[in-house]
Amino acid sequence: MTTYENVELRHKALLFSASVGLKCFLMAVVASAVFCGGIDPNALFRNCYNNSPYVGASVGAVAVMGSVFGYYIIRLESFDSIFANVMKADFIVTAMYFGAAFIAPAMISGRVMIWLFGIWILGILLAPFDKERTLLKKITEYGAIIALGIIMAIELMPRFELVQHSSILGMLLSSILSVFGAGRQK
């Protein structure tokens, strides 16, 4: 029998709430970049009266989606043995998107919205499958996170403007694979 980190239900709820809170803040940054033209709070609260409900609705949608989804994730027994790994990969990918959202919000905003509204849930839903293939899942998790970091770094370089559109698929796939790869037992 393999040993795994047993996370209590309250701690699972706290970790998932922190993840959803970080994603809500990330959504506020990218939604204000899309709807208001900048991530400066003055742009949102003083110059963007007409579009601020859209920013609020985007953040609210992520909060509701994360709350409903998290309610079931923390109670599913198939996540008990992999919950710590899945949350670790989720926080790493969220931190990468978060950092890129402050560096280049206009460039990354569409990808963040797609990721938050589906790819994040899809990756976590796939995580419990095939828990026993440890080597494949380790390669998938760490390789996907490294690939995501490389793709985001390439996108921020002005020389590689042609790569930007083709790397969207790579970013989305590596986001799924990192969470999927984290779904393994130690």
Spell out the domain ranges in the chain: 9-182
Are 97 and 89 a contacting pair, CB within 8 Å?
no
pLDDT digits (tens, 9 = 90+) for 93-128: 888 788 777 777 777 777 777 777 777 778 888 888
Task: At 176, list the tokens.
Answer: 């799924």
Q: What is the DSSP letter of 119?
A: I
pLDDT digits (tens, 9 = 90+) for 146-180: 887 777 777 667 666 655 555 666 677 777 788 88
pTM for the whole thing?
Answer: 0.78
